[in-house]
Amino acid sequence: MQENLSKLQKKINVKFKNINILKKAITHKSYDYENNYEKLEFLGDRILGLVISKKLIDLYKDEKEGVLDKKLASLVNKNKCLEVAKELGLDKFILVGNKKNKKNKIENKIISDSIEALIAAIYYEKGIEFTENFILRIWKNYLNLSNITVIDAKTKLQEYSLKKFKSLPVYKFISNTGLKHKPKFKISVKLKNTKFYEGIGDSKKKAEQNAAEMLLKNLNL
C-alpha cells in the first residue's frame, strides 16, 4: 500500500505529509465503509467549480454569464472529470471492494468522483493556492479548448422552445429494456407544435439527448 501511494504522489507530482488523507481520497466505500472519499468528493467538487469559474472569468472577460455557465458545465461535469482522472492514471490506484477480481472494472462514476476527492485532499494538505495551480495544470488542455462552445442538443432545443413558444420541451419516458448492466432507455420529446420524436440510449440522459437531436433535425436546426 505504501509503495502504491508513493507511486501516486509521483504520478500527480504532489508530496503528502498526511498520507492518510491521500489514501482516503482513493478509497471507495465498498473498500472501507467508514473511511472513504465521499466527503472529500463533496468538497472537491466545489473547489473545482470555484477554480474553473474564476479562470473562465479571467479568460473571457467580455462573455455573458450564460456562455460562461455552459463553458463551466462542459469543464467540470462527470465525463470531463473521468477524462482527467484517466489521463492521470488515477483509476489504477483506486481502492474498491471488488478489485481482487481483475475482470471487474471500476465504475466510471467512482473514477470521476476520485479526482474531486483528490482535489480536496490536496487542498487540506497544501492550501487553496497550491490546489488552484494543480487544477489549472491538469485541466490546461481542456481550458485551452474552452473557446469552442458546444451546445448540446437538449440545451439547444430548450432555448429554441423558450424563445419561440415561451415553454419548455415535453419529455416522455417510454421504456427501459435490456439487461441490468446494459439497459436501453427510450424517451420521446415534443414541442408545442410538433409530434413526439423518440430517442434511445444506455441512460435516460443519452436517450433525451438523442430524442432532442431527432426533433432538431426535423426542424432543420
> Annotated catalytic sites, by residue?
45, 116
Report the C-alpha gap between 91 and 43 in whole angstroms: 20
Phi, psi of 101 (to 5 degrees): -85, 105
Contact (CB, 8 A) for 90 and 115: yes
Neighbours of 73 (CB within 10 A): 13
Q: Which three cell numbers stand for residue 120?
A: 480536496
Report the C-alpha gap between 197 and 18 in whole angstroms: 54
Three-state secondary structure readout of 165-205? HCCCCEEEEEEEEEECCEEEEEEEEECCCCCCEEEEECCHH
